């Protein structure tokens, strides 16, 4: 099992550009989520999905879009990148949305917006 | 607002020594508390999970404690190794699933030879 994979590992964008961060898991997990990690702050939830076709907003959803067409994939789209979106992005998956189930994290994507 | 505070922010210890990391939280209604280890450049990995009724949980050289009355938790690392160098993150879940999780900012531990 590869677990949770993310691509790319690093990305530099110019302000206003758009891009998609890829996330895939091979554990047949229903729950997937995206977080951002900024210096001096805890991870913050951007968007989450409880199953294919179902997504919802987390704590900091502005400027981001998600879709979940399959159980395996959960891409995160930046519509028009801003310097405030410079961060490390983590995708995670879990058997269900219950926090008693362990959440598995991907290796992260480090994004810099100039 | 739910909050999780960790101390110290950073810590340097000699290989073979023990250390204790602290976590104070104001999360309600409480569901569970996890400690994660995050190596540099990697995603967090769960070490332990504790519910309201659990006081202590061990995972090898890692021992977590929980005092639900005072809303405090600690992570004790015994006989530290160089591979323990990482950030340790306290994560507290309120009832309602992963949408109700609050992450601490972490304690950065460096173990030196």
**Helix/strand/coil (H/E/C) assignment for every residue in A22-57:** EEEECCCCCEEEEEEECCCCCCEEEEEEEECCEEEE
Q: With 90 as the cut, is the pLDDT of residue A99 above it?
A: no
A82 burial level (CB within 10 Å; 0-12, 13-18, 19+): middle
> Alpha carbon of B76 to those of A83, A87, B19, B67: distances in Å?
38, 30, 6, 14
**pLDDT tier, A26 (very low <50, low <70, confident <90, very high otherwise):** very high
Q: How far apart are CA B97 and CA A72, in angstroms?
A: 20
Residue A9: the pLDDT is 97
pLDDT tens by residue, B68-107 = 999 999 999 999 999 999 999 999 999 888 888 999 999 9
Of B49, B99, B102, the CB nearest to A48: B99
Higher pLDDT among residues B42 and A100, named by residue? B42
Mean pLDDT across the stretch A87-109? Answer: 95
DSSP-derived letter for residue B15 is: T
Confidence of residue A100 (pLDDT cuts 50, 70, 90): confident
Q: Contact A71/A28 with Cβ under 8 angstroms?
A: yes
pLDDT of residue A1: 76
What is the pLDDT at residue A2?
A: 84
Residue from A24, A20, A103, A108 nearest B99 by CA: A103
Banded model confidence at residue B44, pLDDT cuts 50, 70, 90: very high
Chain B: residue nearest A103 by CA? Answer: B46
Rounded Cα distance, B106 and A114, in Å: 27
Distance CA B6, CA A64 (A): 29
B2 touches chain A (CB under 8 A): no
Q: Is the pLDDT reported for residue B17 higher than 90?
A: yes
- Among B94, B110, B83, B90, smallest CA distance to B7 is for B90
Search chain A and give the residue with CA nearest B90: A42
CA of B79 to nearest chain A CA: how many angstroms apart?
26
CB contact under 8 A, B42 and A107: yes
Check residue A66 and give its pLDDT: 98
Q: In a 10 Å sphere around its CB, with 0-12 CB exposed, 13-18 middle and 19+ buried, how is residue A73 labelled?
A: middle
Contact at CB, B31 and A48, closer than 8 angstroms: no
B 6-45 near A (Cβ less than 8 A): 31-32, 34, 41-45
Chain B residue with CA closest to A49: the answer is B99
Phi, psi dihedrals of residue A84, rounded to the nearest 5°: -65, -10
Residue B66, beta-bridge partner list: B73
Contact across the interface for B44 and A31, Cβ inside 8 Å: no
Q: How far apart are CA B89 and CA A107, in angstroms?
A: 16
Per cent of chain A over pLDDT 70 is 100
What's the token pair of residue A113?
């917006």
pLDDT at A64: 97
Torsion of CA A56, A61, A64, A69, to 10 degrees: -10
Share of chain B above pLDDT 90, in %: 89
Check A97 against B97: CB less than 8 A apart. Answer: yes
pLDDT at B78: 98
Report B:52-91 residues touching A (Cβ under 8 A).
Answer: 89
Mean model confidence pLDDT for chain B: 95
Say if residue B38's pLDDT is above 80. Answer: yes
Q: Give chain A positions within 8 Å (CB) of B57.
A: none
> What pLDDT, on the 0 to 100 scale, is given for residue B98?
83
């Amino acid at each position: 099992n590869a677990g949770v994979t993310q691509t790319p590992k690093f990305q530099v964008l110019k302000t206003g550009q758009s891009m998609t961060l890829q996330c895939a898991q091979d554990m047949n997990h229903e729950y997937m989520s995206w977080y951002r990690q900024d210096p001096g702050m805890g991870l913050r939830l951007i968007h989450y999905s409880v199953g294919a076709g179902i997504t919802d907003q987390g704590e900091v959803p502005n400027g981001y879009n998600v879709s979940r067409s399959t159980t395996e994939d959960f891409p995160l789209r930046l519509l028009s990148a801003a310097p405030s979106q410079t961060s490390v992005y983590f995708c995670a998956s879990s058997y269900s949305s219950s926090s008693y189930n362990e959440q598995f994290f991907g290796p992260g994507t480090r994004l810099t917006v100039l | 607002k739910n909050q999780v505070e960790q101390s110290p922010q950073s810590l340097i210890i000699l290989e073979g020594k023990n250390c204790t990391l602290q976590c104070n939280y104001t999360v309600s209604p409480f569901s569970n508390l996890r400690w994660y280890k995050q190596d540099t450049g990697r995603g967090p990995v769960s070490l332990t999970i504790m519910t309201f009724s659990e006081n202590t949980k061990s995972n090898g050289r890692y021992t977590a404690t929980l005092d639900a009355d005072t809303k405090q938790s600690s992570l004790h690392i015994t006989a530290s190794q160089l591979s323990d160098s990482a950030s340790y993150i306290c994560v507290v879940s309120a009832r309602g699933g992963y949408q109700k999780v609050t992450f601490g900012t972490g304690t950065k531990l460096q173990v030196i030879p």
